[in-house]
Amino acid sequence: MAAPGERPRDVRHLADFTATPRMLTITALAIPVGAVGAGAAWVLLRLIGLITNLVFYQRVGTELVAPGAVSHHPLLILGAPVVGGLIVGVMARYGSEKIRGHGMPEAIESILLGGSTVQPRVAALKPIASAVAIGTGGPFGAEGPIIMTGGALGSLLAQFLRLTADERKTLLVSGAAAGMAATFNTPFAAILLAVELLLFEWRPRSYVPVAAAVTVATLIRHPILGTGALFPSTGALHITAVTCGLAVASGIASGLLAVLATTLVYASEDAFHRLPVHWMWWPAIGGVVIGIGGLFVPQALGVGYNVIGAELNGSIGLHLVIGILIVKTLIWSLSLGSGTSGGVLAPMFMIGGALGALESHIFPTVGPGFWALVALAGVLGGVMRSPITGVIFAAELTGRFDALFPMIIGASTAFAVSVLMLRRSVLTEKIARRGFHLTREYDVDPLEILFVDEVMETNIVTFEADLSIEDALATISDHDPANVAGRRQMLYPVVDVEGLLAGVITRTILETEFHQGGGAATVGKFCLTPRVAHSDQTLRMVANDMAANDIDRMPVVDRNDARRVVGLISSTMLLAGRARDVQEERHSERKLRIRIIRPAWLGDSSATG
């Protein structure tokens, strides 16, 4: 900040956001990606319906039906998930191992570690494997596979074009978000999911294309899958202060359930890794767990949209609530650890809704399905560690925007419980187990706040172009104890007779030429054309420039006179921004104190407390 009387720094060359016309090009590419993502969502839902009808009802049909809507022979309930798991295992073994899992960790891994490239076979095999797993009774959701499939389609288009890894990421996420929006008719939540979980940035270059893709996917969804909320809920809500207080209790319960479910998933995965059989057989073994659970609570099989709807409109019975809460949690978490193919969101809807439906028998009545809605948002916030997405997702699924406030309380509480008790979420633990670290925290880069003129060295050594190499080395000689800064500088601006920048030379070049007998040569003969920084640039801009050009020091020149040297900046100086960030995070101090005025007759006129 400029001192009183000083002219403030001119920052008109900087902007709130960085955006170029290239953003419009990527947005134009994202539009067909959104359309294809919507089509992929429709195909997957129809394929799940087809397999479910064939397996459990022995008929041809593509409408989504519940495997447990009617009674089936016990052998069918036991055998179907095993056969489905076996098919998935064979497809993964001989097709692509990338189809294993619930989709989102695989998409995240592709973005962070794979340059946002996805194999074509994954785009073809993932929806088929997921449809088989879900259609044969697997207690999974379609959203994870859709996210992976839509992302794969976006990535495939990007791979045919000459794009950067960041641009491929944008198109991958555009396809993923489009598929989710088309599946659930939740455009806002799809965009939030993209920002909170997949993009790892908040920038116009990625947000605008993703928003365009989601818009197109939603528009296409309406004539083919409907325009209404997936689980519409109606009826007046009577929200009070007591209700909001109990939402905290609901959030704590949701957070604990999220922790339990996440722990069970990876405990199951650890158990499967200890089995003395090839992983190809694991999904079939997981199918045994599913079948046994289905014998007790058939309604826990499949996607379970009918059960979720009953939970959210308050028409589900207590016995089924308890059965779903126990059996669905167990068969979902234990079978998902087997590496089969299926998503996490729909199971979390059902499990969270069951928790809330149970709470509705304890807490005061607020409205139909209210506590199921609050707990659903809470479990999403705790499992995905994305409380904002969880709240908006629940609101869009039901149309219950009048319940936003208690849902925020519940989801935020569950999020707090989850992050305090678990280091990783169900979405990131798999990545950590492969030896990679992913942080979900976002803040302003401290290098974006500080400017070059706040950290640069101004007392620097410069060489005139006609100075000999021998004399230049003598100037920075190790034998001169007063010239520590000159020896440490390492990069030296070379100036002409007018004192203007002609180039730079390094200490290494000076010493090399001197030892090769060129001590009499002039510095100007060997100087290099430098990359330069400006005093009004942010440290982040300079850090990026250094990284792009593999250098660690730059002369700083006047913006209005590119040959007038005003200082030098090094990579070490960039740490000043980090040091300030650490200071603000760790240093505690009291800024205000209470001054107590005492009567004069007590002797001391004032005291500080």
Q: pLDDT tens digit string along 499-526?
A: 899 999 999 899 898 888 777 899 988 9
pLDDT at 413: 97
Predicted confidence band of residue 486 (pLDDT cuts 50, 70, 90)? low
Q: Give the best-scoring range by mean pLDDT among 123-127, 407-411, 457-461, 523-527.
A: 407-411
Q: How far apart are CA 206 and CA 576, in angstroms?
A: 30
Q: How far apart are CA 186 and CA 194, in angstroms?
A: 12
Q: Can 22-225 and 241-433 be said to share one CATH topology?
A: yes
Statement: residue 374 has pLDDT above 70: yes
| 76/560: higher pLDDT | 76
The count of other CB atoms within 10 Å of the CB of residue 468 is 17
pLDDT at 608: 45
Q: How far apart are CA 254 and CA 374, in angstroms?
A: 9
Quote the Cα angle for 506-510-515, to 5°: 145
Q: How far apart are CA 348 and CA 378, in angstroms?
A: 10
Class for the domain spanning 241-433? mainly alpha
Q: How far apart are CA 295 and CA 78, in angstroms?
A: 7
Predicted confidence band of residue 607 (pLDDT cuts 50, 70, 90)? very low
Fold category of 22-225 in CATH: Clc chloride channel (1.10.3080)
Amino acid at 410: G
Statement: residue 101 has pLDDT above 60: yes
CB 450 within 8 A of CB 580: yes
Q: Which architecture does CATH list for 446-586?
A: Roll (3.10)
* Residue boundaries of the structural domains of the chain: 22-225, 241-433, 446-586
CB 141 within 8 A of CB 307: no
Task: Give tens-digit pLDDT for 211-222.
Answer: 999 999 999 999
> What would the mean pLDDT of 576-582 be, rounded to a whole number?
80
* Contact residues for 469 (Cβ-Cβ < 8 A; gap 6+): 510, 513, 514, 518, 519, 520, 521, 522, 523, 526
pLDDT at 463: 93
> What would the mean pLDDT of 97-126 be, rounded to a whole number?
80
For β-strands 491-495 and 561-570, DSSP reports them as: unpaired
Q: What is the pTM of this model?
A: 0.85
SS3 state at 100: coil
pLDDT at 243: 95
> What would the mean pLDDT of 520-546 be, rounded to a whole number?
92
Statement: residue 290 has pLDDT above 80: yes
* Contact residues for 188 (Cβ-Cβ < 8 A; gap 6+): 392, 396
Task: Give tens-digit pLDDT for 239-282.
Answer: 999 999 999 999 999 999 999 999 999 899 999 999 999 999 99
Question: Measured on CA atoms in the order 409, 412, 415, 421, is the torsion positive or negative?
Answer: negative
